[in-house]
C-alpha cells in the first residue's frame, strides 16, 4: 500500500460527473466539412503541405512539424481541400488561426498505415515517428508527447505516472475511456516506460471512479504497474500536486515534475500512443465530453476538425436558455466565442452554459483580507497579495512572490467571499510581464546590433589606415633600393641633353657678308635673344634633372 502525501489546500466543488458518465462513448458521425487548425498544441504551428483543390486521404499529412516544440497535423478523413485560410478556433482570444478546410467525400479511405516496431528501433527514431504522427498531450496542456518522452541526458526518470484523476467537475472523457479501453491505455503506458527507461509505473485514479478503477485494475493484473486510488480533491490531477501526492517529492519553484524524476501522462495520451505505435494511426480524433445545459449529456469520439455546432447537436436540440459554451472544465476552462470553432486535440470537454447552471457572478467587492484564498492554494502562495500587486500593476513584486508558480486552478476565486476574479488578475499580470520581457529582449537585441555596427565601423577604419601605412612603407622601400635600369635611362637622357647643347653651340649664321649693317644688327639681336632663351632652358633642365 503506497503512502500518500497530501498537498496543501484544494477544494471539492460539486462534481457533476453523473450527467455524462452513465452512457458509453458514442461515435460522432462524419461531418461534411472539417476545419483542422495547424496549431493545436504548445509551440510552433505546423507548416501546411497541401493546397486548395488537392485531394487527401484519411491520415495523410497536411501540416508538417516546424521546430522542436511542434507536431504534425493530419487529414481526419478523405476528401478535397477547399482552402488553407484563417478560421475561428477555440482560443480565449477569439482570434482566427490558419486552418486546412476539407470537404469530406464520405469514403473514409485511409492512407497506408505503418505500425512502429518500437522494440527493434532506436528510441530517437521512435520519438521522431511520434512527432510526425501528431501526438500531443490530451489532458489539457497539449504538450508534444515526443518531447516529454525525451528527457535531458542527465535527467533520469525512474517513475512514470499515468494520470486518470480527471479532477475538474463535469468532465468524464477519461473516466469513460478507462472503463472501455483500459487494455489499450496500459499497453500505451508500457511503450512509454520502454522509451523513458522508467523503473516504476503508477496508475493514479480518483476514488469517485469505481468502474474505471476496476477496469484499469483488471488491465494491470499481469503487469508490475501499481494502481493507486487517491482521494477526490481538486486539483489532484495537476502535475505538481499529483507528483507530491504519490511520491512526497515537491517540485521546486519554477521547475517541473521531471526535476524530481517523475514524468506524467494523461490516460488519453497513452491510448493515442498505443494506436499510433501498434496501428499506425496518427492523432485525428479524440473523446470529448458534451454536457451542461444539453438534453442528453454524453461522451463522443469525434474527428479533429468537427464543428462544435454539429457535436452539440448529438445531444439533442440545443436548449433555448443556453447562453454559451465553455471549453474545458468550469474551473480552468474558457468561454468559446463561436459554435463554428472545430474540435481540437485540447478539447476534452464542452459545457453548455445557462444562467440556471452557472449564475452570473455578483459584482466583486473589496478584498477583506480573510485569507481563505491562501488556505486553499495548492502551491502555498498568498493569492491576496498577488491580487494587490496585480491590481497596483506592481509586477516586480508579484514576481518576487512567485506569481509564475500559480497553476491558475481557480481554487482561490472559488472560495473568495468578495467574488473577485482573482485568476483573471494573475493572467493579466503574467501577460504584462511576458510582454515587457519581450520588449526588453527586443531592445537588448537592438542595442547589441548597434554596438556591433559601431565596432565594425571602427575596425574597418583601422584596417584601412593599416593598409595605407603598409603601402607607403613599401613605396619608400622600393625607392631606396638600387635600380640599374632607371639609372641607365637617366644617363641616356642626360647624354641626349648634352648632345643637344653641343649642337646648338655649334650653330653660327652663314652668308651674311652681303647683308647691310642694319640686317647684321638685327641678326645679332636675334642671336642674343636665342642665347638668352637657351640659357633659361638649360637652367630649367638642370633644375628638373
pLDDT at 527: 81
Tens of pLDDT, residue by residue over 365-384, are 999 999 999 999 999 999 99
Which of 69-78, 291-300, 439-448, 491-500 has the weakest average pLDDT?
Answer: 491-500
At residue 25's C-alpha, the angle toward residues 23 and 27, to 5°, is 130
Q: Check whether 543 has a pLDDT greater than 70.
A: no
Q: How confident is the model at residue 75 (pLDDT cuts 50, 70, 90)?
A: very high
Q: How far apart are CA 247 and CA 260, in angstroms?
A: 10
From residue 172, alpha-carbon distances to 15, 21, 22, 177 in Å are 10, 6, 10, 9
Residue pair 373/9 in contact by the 8 Å Cβ criterion: no
Q: Check whether 544 has a pLDDT greater than 60.
A: no
At residue 37's C-alpha, the angle toward residues 33 and 38, to 5°, is 135
Q: Check whether 191 has a pLDDT greater than 80.
A: yes
Q: How confident is the model at residue 105 (pLDDT cuts 50, 70, 90)?
A: very high
Tens of pLDDT, residue by residue over 240-280, are 999 999 999 999 988 889 999 999 999 999 999 999 999 99
Q: How far apart are CA 9 and CA 244, in angstroms?
A: 13
Residue pair 386/401 in contact by the 8 Å Cβ criterion: yes
Tens of pLDDT, residue by residue over 381-409, are 999 999 999 999 999 999 999 999 999 99
| Averaged pLDDT score across all residues of the chain | 92
From residue 235, alpha-carbon distances to 7, 269, 329 in Å are 10, 19, 12
Q: How confident is the model at residue 331 (pLDDT cuts 50, 70, 90)?
A: very high
Residue range 526-545: mean pLDDT, rounded: 73
In percent, how much of the chain has pLDDT > 90?
78
Please, which residues bridge with residue 326 across strands? 335, 351
Residue pair 9/377 in contact by the 8 Å Cβ criterion: yes
pLDDT at 531: 79
Tens of pLDDT, residue by residue over 33-59, are 999 999 988 888 999 999 999 999 999
The model's pTM: 0.80
Amino acid at each position: 500500500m503506497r503512502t500518500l502525501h497530501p498537498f496543501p489546500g484544494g477544494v471539492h466543488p460539486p462534481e457533476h460527473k453523473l450527467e455524462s458518465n452513465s452512457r458509453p462513448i458514442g461515435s460522432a458521425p462524419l461531418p461534411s466539412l472539417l476545419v483542422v487548425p495547424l496549431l493545436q498544441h504548445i509551440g510552433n504551428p505546423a507548416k501546411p503541405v497541401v493546397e486548395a483543390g488537392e485531394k487527401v486521404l484519411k491520415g495523410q499529412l497536411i501540416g508538417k512539424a516546424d521546430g522542436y516544440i511542434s507536431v504534425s497535423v493530419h487529414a481526419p478523413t478523405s476528401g478535397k481541400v477547399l482552402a488553407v485560410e484563417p478560421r475561428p478556433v477555440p482560443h480565449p482570444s477569439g482570434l482566427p488561426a490558419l486552418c486546412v478546410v476539407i470537404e469530406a467525400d464520405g469514403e473514409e479511405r485511409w492512407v497506408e498505415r505503418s505500425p512502429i516496431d518500437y522494440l527493434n528501433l532506436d528510441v530517437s527514431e521512435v520519438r521522431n515517428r511520434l512527432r510526425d504522427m501528431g501526438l500531443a498531450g490530451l489532458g489539457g496542456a497539449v504538450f508534444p508527447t515526443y518531447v516529454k518522452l525525451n528527457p535531458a541526458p542527465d535527467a533520469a526518470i525512474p517513475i512514470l505516472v499515468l494520470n486518470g484523476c480527471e479532477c475538474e467537475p463535469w468532465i468524464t472523457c477519461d473516466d469513460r475511456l478507462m472503463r472501455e479501453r483500459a487494455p489499450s491505455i496500459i499497453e500505451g503506458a508500457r511503450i512509454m516506460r520502454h522509451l523513458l527507461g522508467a523503473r516504476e509505473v503508477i496508475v493514479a485514479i480518483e476514488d469517485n471512479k469505481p468502474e474505471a478503477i476496476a477496469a484499469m485494475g483488471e488491465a494491470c493484473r499481469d503487469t508490475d504497474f501499481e494502481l493507486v486510488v487517491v482521494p477526490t480533491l481538486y486539483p489532484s490531477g495537476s502535475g505538481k500536486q499529483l507528483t507530491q501526492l504519490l511520491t512526497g517529492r515537491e517540485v521546486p519553484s519554477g521547475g517541473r515534475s521531471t526535476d524530481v524524476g517523475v514524468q506524467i501522462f494523461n490516460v488519453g495520451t497513452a491510448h493515442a500512443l498505443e494506436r499510433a505505435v501498434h496501428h499506425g494511426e496518427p492523432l485525428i480524433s479524440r473523446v470529448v465530453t458534451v454536457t451542461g445545459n444539453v438534453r442528453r449529456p454524453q461522451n463522443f469520439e469525434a474527428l479533429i476538425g468537427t464543428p462544435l455546432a454539429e457535436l452539440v447537436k448529438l445531444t439533442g436540440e440545443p436548449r433555448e436558455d443556453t447562453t454559451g459554451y465553455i471549453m474545458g472544465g468550469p474551473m480552468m476552462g474558457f468561454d468559446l466565442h463561436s459554435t463554428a470553432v472545430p474540435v481540437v486535440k485540447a478539447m476534452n470537454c464542452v459545457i453548455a452554459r445557462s444562467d440556471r447552471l452557472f449564475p452570473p457572478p455578483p459584482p466583486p467587492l473589496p478584498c477583506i483580507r480573510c485569507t481563505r484564498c491562501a488556505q486553499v492554494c495548492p502551491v502555498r502562495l498568498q493569492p491576496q497579495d498577488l491580487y494587490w500587486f496585480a491590481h497596483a500593476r506592481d509586477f516586480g513584486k508579484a514576481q518576487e512572490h512567485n506569481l509564475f508558480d500559480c497553476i491558475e486552478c481557480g481554487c482561490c476565486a472559488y472560495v473568495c467571499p468578495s467574488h473577485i476574479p482573482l485568476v483573471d488578475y494573475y493572467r493579466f499580470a503574467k501577460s504584462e510581464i511576458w510582454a515587457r520581457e519581450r520588449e526588453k529582449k527586443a531592445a537588448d537585441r537592438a542595442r547589441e546590433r548597434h554596438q556591433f555596427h559601431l565596432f565594425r565601423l571602427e575596425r574597418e577604419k583601422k584596417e584601412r589606415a593599416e593598409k595605407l601605412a603598409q603601402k607607403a612603407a613599401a613605396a619608400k622601400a622600393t625607392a631606396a633600393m638600387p635600380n640599374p635600369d632607371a639609372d641607365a635611362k637617366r644617363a641616356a637622357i642626360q647624354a641626349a641633353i648634352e648632345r643637344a647643347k653641343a649642337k646648338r653651340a655649334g650653330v653660327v649664321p652663314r652668308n651674311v657678308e652681303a647683308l647691310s649693317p642694319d640686317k647684321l644688327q638685327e641678326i645679332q639681336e636675334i642671336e642674343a635673344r636665342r642665347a638668352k632663351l637657351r640659357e633659361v632652358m638649360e637652367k630649367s633642365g638642370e633644375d628638373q634633372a
